[in-house]
Structure 1
Amino acid sequence: MAGGEGDVKLLGLRLSPFVARVRMALDTKGVRYEYVEEDLAAKSSLLLASNPVHRKVPVLIHAGRPVCESLVILHYVDEAWPGARERAAARFWAAYVDGELFPAWGRVMMAATEEERAERAGEAAGMVARLEEAFAGCSDGGDAVGYLDLVLGSNLFWFEAPRRLLGVRLIDKGRTPLLAAWAVRFGEAAAANGMVTDALVDMAVEHAKKLRAAAMAAGK
């Protein structure tokens, strides 16, 4: 257990990759915390008081002080419970994952035609290839889990949706062997810690299926 926690509480949603990365960070640091699952259709008074502007998860509450937004929380966790060495490059690529790669996942899922899907899948593959080139220097790679590992790893169970529904692999061992090998290791560790279960992956796939169906219906 890391020292000096005080009272630590995390408000979250199991299906959120942004919540997952915070939980992984806390677990990696050995921080004891209380996890509170939120219902975003009926948000708790604690969530509304802790994040009154955006009213969303995750929210980390440490010694009575709320910290909002997943990347901000990861910075806070690393400073409050020091351990792993972070680099500016890792933060740049973490922002790349959130700002470009994950939206590219959405564009693949919402493509209306096979031609459009193939084009968008190619764009996403190019993004993953660029990340592969940078990953060796930014990820801790082995048993240690660093900042970029958490940001990308928390999205892995969502990346299963295009594979199951559309046959599109965003991380493919033929194109990006380094990332593919890392994804297997990270996924096994997350599953062993109870962070990613088959049931959670199934929930993500079903949710993505509903989003896709709604998008297709709206496009008619």
Structure 2
Amino acid sequence: MAEVKLLGLWYSPFCHRVEWALKIKGVKFEFIEQNLQNKSPLLLESNPIQKKIPVLIHNGKPICESMVIVEYIDETFEGPSILPKDPYDRAVARFWVKFIDDKGSAVGRSFFHKSYEAKAELSEMLKILDNELKDKKFFVGDKFGFADIAANFLGLWMGVLEEATGVNNLVTREKYPNFCAWRDEYIDCRDNKKYLPPRDELLAYFKARFQAAAVPPYSS
């Protein structure tokens, strides 16, 4: 029996946050794919309040919420630090994680529901991030870390959704040059590539999903 289990979905950016942290730390784990239309007894038992993924189970104890799990992994396992060492930098990183998670639902609503209000909210979020990333390689200092992992759906998934839906004018270099430079670094960085899921597989999945016009919630 594996000491560490991850309940999730292969195409979920929230699950990949956790996978990324586990791989950074070199933790061996068992990935247990879930079906949110037919939730497993293990998922319902492990997260009875939200009934959502991802859930990390470590030595039989469940931990929920993706970035809470990432912090737990960082504090529990040996290996490279994910959160900054400096207390101020940690606070800054946590601030941007909360901002990204609070505002990030607009990304999904922009593509899945094509909401005008969501697109306006997404535009405002990107303006703020673009300003924050001016003259910066990553969110905190020059090291990829906690806040950047939290922004994975902006770094990879949003571009996939743009291509899958044919909506190509939401994020442009003319509008958001600093954000796009960060996204390029995110995708092209050699160290990051080993942690990211294959883009072509994500694209094929979401193209099929949009073509089938089936839009169930896919993560938490």
Q: Is TM-score (shorter-chain normalized) higher than 0.5?
A: yes
Indicate if the aligned counterparts of 2:163 and 2:203 stay in contact, CA closer than 8 A: no
Higher mean C-alpha deviation, range 54-63 or range 162-171: 162-171
In the alignment, does 2:130 pair up with 1:128?
Answer: no
Deviations 1:163-215 (A, max 9, x none): 4424334443223233222222322455444523311222134335555x87x
The alignment's TM-score, normalised by the length of structure 1, stands at 0.76
Aligned length: 203
Question: 1:138 offset after TM fit, Å?
Answer: 6.0
Distance (Å, rounded) in 2 between the aligned partners of 1:182 and 1:201: 21
In the alignment, does 2:7 pair up with 1:11?
Answer: yes
Indicate if the aligned counterparts of 1:157 and 1:201 stay in contact, CA closer than 8 A: no
The alignment's TM-score, normalised by the length of structure 2, stands at 0.76
> Residue in 2 aligned with 1:54?
50
- Correspondent of 1:79 among 71, 75, 78: 75
> Residue in 2 aligned with 1:97?
100
> Residue in 2 aligned with 1:202?
204
Distance (Å, rounded) in 2 between the aligned partners of 1:95 and 1:193: 22
Identity %: 32
1:1-220 to structure 2, matched below 5 A, reads 7-81=3-77, 83-84=81-82, 85=84, 87-107=90-110, 109-111=112-114, 116=116, 121-135=119-133, 136=136, 139-140=139-140, 144-159=143-158, 160-188=160-188, 189=190, 190-193=192-195, 195-208=197-210, 210=212
Distance (Å, rounded) in 2 between the aligned partners of 1:33 and 1:66: 14
Letter matched to residue 161 of structure 1: L
Letter matched to residue 201 of structure 1: L
Distance (Å, rounded) in 2 between the aligned partners of 1:195 and 1:29: 18
> Residue in 2 aligned with 1:217?
none
Using a 3 Å threshold, how does the CA distance of structure 1 residues 208 and 81 change in structure 2: closer, same or farther?
farther
Using a 3 Å threshold, how does the CA distance of structure 1 residues 169 and 21 change in structure 2: closer, same or farther?
farther
Uncovered stretches (5+) of structure 2, i.e. residues with no partner: 216-220
Using a 3 Å threshold, how does the CA distance of structure 1 residues 104 and 12 change in structure 2: closer, same or farther?
closer
SS at match of 1:52: coil
Deviations 1:41-78 (A, max 9, x none): 22222212211222211000112111011121122112
RMSD of Structure 2 on Structure 1 (CA):
3.0
Using a 3 Å threshold, how does the CA distance of structure 1 residues 108 and 64 change in structure 2: closer, same or farther?
closer
Question: 1:108 offset after TM fit, Å?
Answer: 5.5
Distance (Å, rounded) in 2 between the aligned partners of 1:70 and 1:201: 23
If each structure's helix is expressed as a fraction of its own residues, which one has the higher value?
Answer: 1
Uncovered stretches (5+) of structure 1, i.e. residues with no partner: 1-5, 215-220
Question: 1:121 offset after TM fit, Å?
Answer: 3.6
